[in-house]
Chains A and B, each alone.
Chain A
Amino acid sequence: MNGTTTKHQIEIKNLWKIFGAQPERVFTEEYQHKSRAELQEELGVVVALRDVSFNVDSGQVFVVMGLSGSGKSTLVRCLTRLIENTLGDIYFGGDNIIQFSSDELVEFRRHKVAMVFQHFGLLPHRSVLDNVAYGLEVQGVDKETRHRKAKEAINTVGLAGWEEYYPREMSGGMQQRVGLARALAVDPEVLLMDEPFSSLDPLIRREMQDELINLQESMHKTIIFITHDLDEALKLGDRIVIMRDGEIIQEGTPDAIVTTPANDYVAEFVRDVSKAKVIRAETIMQEPASVVRESQSPQEAIVTLESQDSKVAFVVSEEDIVKGIVTATIADSLVQSDAPDLKNAIFDNAHMVSAKAILEDCIPIAAQADHPLAVVDHEGRLLGQIDRKDLLVGMAESGIDKVGKYGKE
């Protein structure tokens, strides 16, 4: 990415957008701290974005959530200068796009970003194939290549066989798949999605969300996703910013938003959120009570269990990878059979959950297990443990303070 020193893919710095005449009047000693309503009353200008700053890392799904009028749609349009901001900078892979000439801007829009729109924005006079190929067509890609790439994108979104149909012949959900395919066809670094699923009915919406999650697992694109739906934000987002009246009022992981709302406004939002669907295992996990290495002897395991007054201990390799659990009974039988260490016994009896797993998915596993669950990272390394009590506390309202302690990143 141009070999610059920035480590974030997108950096947004002090972005302001003011609609109305002479917006510079707002940036004076007298006015700059006044509220949106006061500025509208006194200067007749509307502050759509007020000093918005955040960073987006490569491969992240970054959700901007807010109700209508919060400035989220203005924000996403400023990112490609469909709307010109009043003040502030937007760095994209180290380049400040605000400084781009109109030619550079066209190139930027053609190759770096692609956008998916709430109302699809398809071209009614073009077939699905030519709609999807549109981005490549304006780049000047020859017909054969752009149709091949467009077909790939159409297959990716599950519309194979619909190439020759027209948008008017398709349902809303299918039209939005066309919109998504059109964005994917240009293979952008960043996908901007402006409430892409808001105009779809709830069943289709959930289906599309799930498919986006699946797609993202293989694409690893950077996605900036705009929504007014908190459930959608929590479901899709790696990071979330919540906006109100053009300002960011909280930025954090879904966990952090739910467990430690920044103010009453956010708290009111997350009040009805099912915590089990949002909070992840890593948030509520405890330090593992007892851990033994597989290279240790069964006798040592017994000593560890007794000294720590634990019923079970996790057995891990030298790389901290969970191999299983050992109880006093198991250790005793190993001592009987003269085993030198814990290695030879095939344990594989630990119940494990991924650190990223939501509590809802941990419940059935915890129900089967009569020992604490091992919380592991994606390579199987032990990070912590969760017992049934932790699960209940994590989901309970009263647990928020306790959870919050561990919810810090």
Chain B
Amino acid sequence: MELLANLQLGFDVALTLQNVLYCFLGVLLGTLIGVLPGIGPVATIAMLLPATFALPPVSALIMLAGIYYGAQYGGSTTAILVNLPGEASSVVTCLDGYAMAQQGRAGPALAVAALGSFFAGTVATLILVLFAPPLAEVAFKFGPAEYFSLMVLGLIAAIVLARGSLIKAIAMILLGLLLGLIGADTNTGQFRFTFGLPQLADGIGFVVVAMGMFGFSEIIANIERRARREVVMAKITSLFPTREDLKASWKAVLRGTGIGALLGILPGGGATLGSFAAYTLEKKVAKDPSRFGKGAIEGVAGPESANNAGAQTSFIPLLTLGIPANAVMALMVGAMTIHGITPGPQVMTERPELFWGMIASMWIGNLLLVVLNLPLIGIWVKLLSVPYRILYPAILLFACIGVYSLNNSAIDVALALAFGFLGYLFIKLDCEPAPLLLGFVLGPMMEENLRRALLLSRGDPTVFVTRPLSLTLLVVAAALLIIVVVPAVRKKREEAFQE
């Protein structure tokens, strides 16, 4: 069978000593930053990107992917033990996880989170294996019109799924699209928005924007919030969940995996959304919803499985269509481009070893995470006692060195500073930065495909609705938009995000 041959190839690549090592390094670093609050996967991957320049592309991507799902994993540890979500995707884990820890059941909570995540990771890897090839097949039928419509769908989904105000999310996307256009126009060579600066001719680097908006501005906001953080650590007595725990949680794991995997594939989705949705679902189906928030193990098992499944399936749009679904995937595009790989359906046929190797490494990475996390939990907890005032200057330094060494350009560091200021402003004004980043990456691609589509149709704008694939994508986008504008659904959405 072709599938097995592909998997075989993938494991052959992923199981070389070198790649296992980089996978390990990736999940280790991912867990580290997942445990430490105040620095997310976007900033970390941006920081480490220069360090992977020298690696072969497969190893580099395996390591970067490891950082991403490792971070989802590590984030839950702090959520359960000290009520601090290490990542946005483990915010809901705090609710019941910390409650369990206070009742002396931190061990079972951690174990269920780890095992649920491992299960979810395995299923999500299988989903990738099964669905990526047929999707890539479809992607080969895509012309510029379809790509444009797909990106419209992606951006609309990002708006719908963003927290907070819809209008502000749309505006952030538009601003991102505009920022993405800075530099020389690919078709005509015309300099746009460069203000006469030659350093802007190639556009602003993606890492520069990401580091400013997710790195620097977060650090400033964290220093401000410092005052009200106190760490009261729960004791871990036994790691083993009781029979009742397992009985109560296995269904939640299944549901969480399903919902997380599904939401992860959606453009704009990813890990965070899945965990919120899974928590809401668990509360809905529970016989006694009042237990939630007071240490219900389903409230840990569901969201934790969901965020891991979502983290993994969010690779699907990137690997098959070449379109990043969220900010981390946008960074992966940057990483692939640096290594001379254009993301898209052709990766699977032209670089099968890269494609399947990366997928196989995800399963290996998940296995490593269980091994890494459960026995070593004490070490991770110790890390939390390092005060932020010592941590953040080091993060600042790594961030600056990372940004500088991308192009050996001090201007880039100064630009990141400007984006840090802008990002801080947006935090204060309650505007989510993620849609901006997505728009920034998609901006040039969108313009390019729009131009090509109209050129091919001789300026006939109906091309987007007369081609069936393109029409379908646009109809889905319109449906999504209508759904959120309908008042009843809108209220639900707000409820879901409030919990």
A and B interact physically: no
